[in-house]
Amino acid sequence: MEAAIDRIMQTYDLLLNRTAAASDEARAKVTEYVAKLVEAGEKDPHRLTVCGLTYLRQLDGSNDPVKGGYTGL
């Protein structure tokens, strides 16, 4: 689980330039989320990494097409 969290944070830090406090907050949130996934039975570190990155991107809104400038036109 720790390897997946480390990979998530390394990748996420490449995507966004954030403060150390914001990075620590994101790590705490994703650690809790990944722990729930492991508790539910997910053991594949690659899948945990993808799920964790998706979770963080949903939290910061970067998966939202409207915030990304997509208008549908």
22-61 per-position pLDDT tens digit = 999 999 999 999 999 999 999 999 999 999 999 999 888 7
> With the CA atoms of 26, 31, 32 and 38 taken in that order, what torsion angle do they form, in degrees rounded to the nearest 10?
150
Bigger pLDDT: 28 or 17? 28
**Whole-number pLDDT of residue 68:** 62
DSSP annotation of 40 reads T
Cβ partners under 8 Å of residue 46, min gap 6: none
Supply the pLDDT for residue 60. Answer: 85
pLDDT band for position 15 (cuts 50, 70, 90): confident
pLDDT score, position 18? 83
> Could you give the CA distance from residue 72 to residue 57 in angstroms, rounded to a whole number?
21
